[in-house]
Structure formats: structure tokens, C-alpha cells
Structure 1
Amino acid sequence: MKNLRSILMPLAIVLGILLPQAHVLSPMMPFLIGSMMFLTFVTKIPPQTHGYTFKIEARAFVASLVLIAALWGIVELFGLPREVLLGGAIIALCPPANAAPAMAKMLGGSASLALKIFLSGNLLACFSIPVFFGYLTGADASLSEIAMKIFNTIQPIISIPLAFALGLRAFYPELADRAAKFQKYTMFIWTFSVFVIISKASFDIREMGFTDLWNSGKLPMMAGVSLVLCILLFWLGWFCERKRRPIEGSQSMGQKNTTLVIWVSTLYAGPVVALAPTCYVIWQNLVLTWMSREKTRERMLRGQEKKNP
């Protein structure tokens, strides 16, 4: 499955760039996100140390707010376009990705802990994104109005799959166990989602004019801020939890549910802002590919040491 991911993800990105016509599939995004949410939520969660999940998520949330404040200061200091702040903010506020538990397990961490962080992070995002992103984007409306609009957009995608998964787990546990077996196939839904996302971005760039976006500096700035945030978030997740759970911290803070925030930023901030989390998809998968290769190389070295003590 790991080798298949390393093949499918670059293929999805390349095809998305070459086939902008596939942007017509964008209305499927809420259903794709909801499907991935359900398959992750329905997974049976083993018990973990009480309160530790909250501490990890609280540190991640505080770190995200600090990054937004720092980015806001840089934008104001250097007179950068407002889109840079909005693009960076939506990345920082983005909850953990569905694939974070599987990746944490592959790297030698606890999949169950990463899953609990995923659950709490996505529930927190239901409120944090509407409030903070709504405040940054709501120039023409009151905070309560724009926050409620964003909340009404996000919460059904998270709450409905969660309620359905918890109901199935409570009343029909056997069916829930069967559904949970399909969780590993979320990779294929995620790959298809990436294809649609990149295709939509490719279409938007062509519509807005690649040369105009590049000459204005907005496209390179969006790519640059997403790259810096990607490296920072993975590193901060490791640094904040380095004494106890560095793998889970890194994956939970760095690996983002970009499909959700790309959709939200497109609706409420425009296609230019959506370029930032779209670029993050590319940087994120490059980082994850590097991590998986490093882990594979480490295992191979250990195997050689055992054979040649």
C-alpha cells in the first residue's frame, strides 16, 4: 500500500495539472470529504492516557495561532497582499488529515493516538475556522454572519459522518467493524480528491492567467508561504512532542486535511487564496514521501545489522 501511494499521488498531481477539464467534478468534494471522514470516524479507538490527546491538540492550536499572528505581522510590515495572510491562516487552522493515523503507524508511532487527535482536531476546526478565518475574511459582513456561514458549511461534513459512524458503532458494532475494514481504502478517495483539487487549481490558474499571477507575485508567494508553513508545522509538531510522542505530534500538526480547507477557501476567499492550501498538498506529499523513504532505509540498515552483528 505504501509503494502504491508513492505512485498514485504523483500521478494524481500530474494528471490534475494536465486535465483542468476535470474541475467539473468539484461539486463531488463534500461527498468525498464526508466519505473519508466516515471511514475514519467508524474505526474502533483503543483507550489512551486520559487528557493527553487534548494536550497535543491544544499545543497544536496555540502554535497555529502564533503562526497566524507572525504571518499577519509580516504581511503588514512588508505590505504583502491580503491573500498571503488568508492562505497561510487557512493552512494553519486546517485540522489533521484522515491519513495521519496510518502514516503515524507506518513511521512507528501510535495509530490510535493519532486517530484521537484527528477526531478532536476536526471537531475543533468546526469552530476555530469559522471564528478566525471568518474574522479575517468578513470585511463586508459582521463576524457572526460570516462565521455562521462558514460553520454551516463545515459542520455537516464533519458532524453527519461522525453521528452516522458513532450510531453504527453503538447499535450495529458488527457492521461498524466491517465498514472499518475499508478505512485503508481512503487512500484511493484521497488520491482522487487530490486529482480534482489540482485540476480545479489548474483550471483557475488558466482562467486568471498564469503570466498575470506570476508577474503579480501572488502565485510564487502562495507557493512560498505554503512551503514554509509545511516545513514549520511538521517540525513544530515533532518539537512540541519530542519528549513523548514526536511522530504523532508531527503527523497531526503537519499532515493537513487540505481537501476541506481548499473547498472552504474557494467558497469564502476566492481561487487565489485556495492556491496556498493547494500548493500545500504538493509540499506535504513530498515531505511524507521523504519520511517514508527514511523509515524504509532505517529498517533496511537494522536488518543488515542483525544479519552482520
Structure 2
Amino acid sequence: MKLIKFLKDWTLPVSMGMGTIVYLIFAFVPALESAAEVMEPVFNTILPLFMFLILFVTFCKVDFHKMLPVGWHLWVSIFNLLFVGIVMAIVLFFHFTGDKLVLMEALLMCIIAPTATAAAVVTQKLGGSLEEMTTYTFLSNFLTVLLVPVCFPLIEKSADISFMSAFTKIFYQVVTLLVVPMLLAYLVKHYWQSLHRKVVSVRDLSFYLWGCSLMIVTGTTVKNIVHAQATLLLLGSIAMLGLLLCVIQFAVGRFIGHFFCRAQEAGQGLGQKNTAFAIWMAYTYLTPLASVGPGCYILWQNIINSIEIWQERRRSAVEA
């Protein structure tokens, strides 16, 4: 029972730790090399399925009539645009190339990435508004759809993409992994109520599904860092600046949210990023090394999430 309680209380750190350990075992034990080659495409296939299920379960709990834009959505979006603009201005003004450009691209990926689909899960866990967070997740994703085709060709001259081709490709990803589970949840909620009751009756189901997906994403992140063709100085710089950026985005989001009594929601909206999506964009449109940025960011944001969940659990225990 103590072990189960420990796993429930520290799901995120345990998931990250397990993902790291499992990858390192398979990577550095020669006898498991063939098994690792077999399992890699399997994990790449089931990760989108986990994300789909997480969103489906989350949307089953959403009151769709309350999914409306509110004040903090606008201001968080403005600051997100401001941060993107600052990075773009620095790159274009100083004409960065080589490692400096890779560093700035890595940071850009941590800013331009949309709000994580799991942000609504964390917000609900912390007692925030599920509907407001879900609405902003949609807004953030469509903002990214517009920003990427404009920004990437400006900083990565080798990125042979047109606005419409990039827009269509990213829009397809957003619709597949965000809109489809929402529509399915809406149909189940209104036309298959027996299944809907079973889904919502399982407490924290989306949170534990997220824990499983986090284990896979962490393993993939460690793999990308281990195999990155870069100096330790560059990798360290990306990691440390990613940490600073993560803290800034969470802090600015919470600052904005205080004016609307939604500090938790705004903090998650600006700070918690869809790093898996960011890694895909880096590989598709920029240099693969830029994916190390969101790869490190996933560690920092989930440390912050773990601390927030621990504080909420402690506060609830005191009130009880």
C-alpha cells in the first residue's frame, strides 16, 4: 500500500526516472540491442495513441458550454507572441550561424510550441478550471499553426517550406491529435452515456495515462541528448537556458493570471509546452539538434509540475 501511495503521489518523477533508466538499459546492454530496435517503432506508434486517449478522457469531463475565450487567454497569447518576437529579432539582428543559431532555435522551439495537451490534466489536478485551460490549448495550437510557417523560413534558410505547405501539415497534426478526440468525447458524452459514465468514474485516469506517455517521451528525450552531435558546452547551454526560460514562462503566466484570479491556469498555459510536438517540428523544419531544447524543457516543466502537485496535495491535507 505504501508503494502504491508513493507511485500515486510522485507519478511524474517516477515516470521520468523509469523512462531514463529503461532507455539506458536497452542502449548500453549489448544483449538487448536487437530488442531495442524492435521496440523503438512500437513506442513511436503507441505514443500518439496515449496522447489521443489522454485528451479523450479529459474532454469527457469538459462542459462544452463553458469553453469560451476569457481575458487571460488574450494576454498570455500576447506575451507568447512577444517572446517569439524577441528571439526572432535577436537571430535576425545578429545574423547568428552555427552553434549560436542552433541555441536560439532550441529556445525558440520552447516558446513557439503550443500549450501541452496535458496542461488541462495538470490544471484539473490542481483544482483549476478545466474548461478555460482546454479552450486556451486550442487557441495556443492554432497560434502555433500560424507562427511556424512565418518564423521558420526566416531563421533557417535551408528550410524549404512555403506558408501553405507548413500550415497544412501542422494543421493536420493539430486536428488529428486535438480536434478528433474532442469530437469523439462530445459524441460519447451525449450519445453513449453508459461508456461516458465508466470513463469519468475512473479517478485521475488521464493523469496516469499521461504518466505512461511521459515515460516514453523521457526515454526518447534521453536518446536524443545521448546521440546529439554537439559539444558538452552547447548541450549545457541549451539545458540551462531552457531552465531559465521555463521558469520565466511559468512566472510570467502566473503573474498575468493573478489579475484574473487564474494564476494556475495562466501559468500552465504559458509555461507547459507540447514538447513532443516541438521535437517533431524541429526535426521536420529546422536542424535536429534544435530538438534538444524541448527535450530538456520537458524535464524542467515536469519538475515544476511535480512541485505544484506536491504543494497542492500538502495544502489539501492541511485543510482536511
Q: Is the pair's TM-score, using the shorter chain for normalization, greater than 0.5?
A: yes
Q: 1:8 to 1:161 in 2, by over 3 A?
A: same
Aligned to 1:227: 243
Aligned to 1:202: 222
TM-score (norm 2): 0.77
Which residue of 137, 158, 161 maps to 1:141? 161
**Which stretch has the larger CA shift, 175-184 or 157-166?**
175-184
Distance (Å, rounded) in 2 between the aligned partners of 1:293 and 1:14: 22
**Any gaps of 5 or more consecutive residues in structure 1?**
304-309
Q: 1:44 to 1:134 in 2, by over 3 A?
A: farther
CA contact (8 A) 1:105 1:111 kept: yes
Which residue of 239, 256, 268 maps to 2:285? 268
Aligned to 1:306: none
- 1:1-309 equivalences under 5 Å are 2-15=8-21, 18=24, 19-20=26-27, 21=36, 23-24=40-41, 25-45=43-63, 48=66, 51-52=69-70, 55-75=71-91, 76-77=93-94, 79=96, 81-129=100-148, 132-133=151-152, 139-182=159-202, 184-209=204-229, 213-215=230-232, 217-243=233-259, 244-298=261-315
Query: Percent same amino acid among aligned pairs?
Result: 21
Aligned to 2:30: none
Distance (Å, rounded) in 1 between the aligned partners of 2:154 and 2:59: 29
Q: 1:270 to 1:81 in 2, by over 3 A?
A: same
CA contact (8 A) 1:123 1:158 kept: no
Aligned pair count reads 297
- What is the deviation of 1:38? 1.8
CA contact (8 A) 2:23 2:222 kept: yes
TM-score (norm 1): 0.80
- What is the deviation of 1:301? 5.9
Which one-letter code corresponds to 1:117 in the other structure?
Y
CA contact (8 A) 1:16 1:198 kept: no
User: For the aligned residues, what is the CA RMSD?
Assistant: 3.1
Which one-letter code corresponds to 1:35 in the other structure?
L
Distance (Å, rounded) in 1 between the aligned partners of 2:173 and 2:67: 33
CA contact (8 A) 2:103 2:290 kept: yes
- What is the deviation of 1:187? 2.8
Distance (Å, rounded) in 2 between the aligned partners of 1:193 and 1:35: 10
Q: 1:301 to 1:226 in 2, by over 3 A?
A: same
Distance (Å, rounded) in 2 between the aligned partners of 1:265 and 1:221: 18
Distance (Å, rounded) in 2 between the aligned partners of 1:219 and 1:206: 10
Secondary structure at the residue paired with 1:256?
A: coil
**Which stretch has the larger CA shift, 184-193 or 272-281?**
184-193
Distance (Å, rounded) in 1 between the aligned partners of 2:306 and 2:199: 28
Q: 1:48 to 1:32 in 2, by over 3 A?
A: closer
Distance (Å, rounded) in 2 between the aligned partners of 1:170 and 1:297: 37
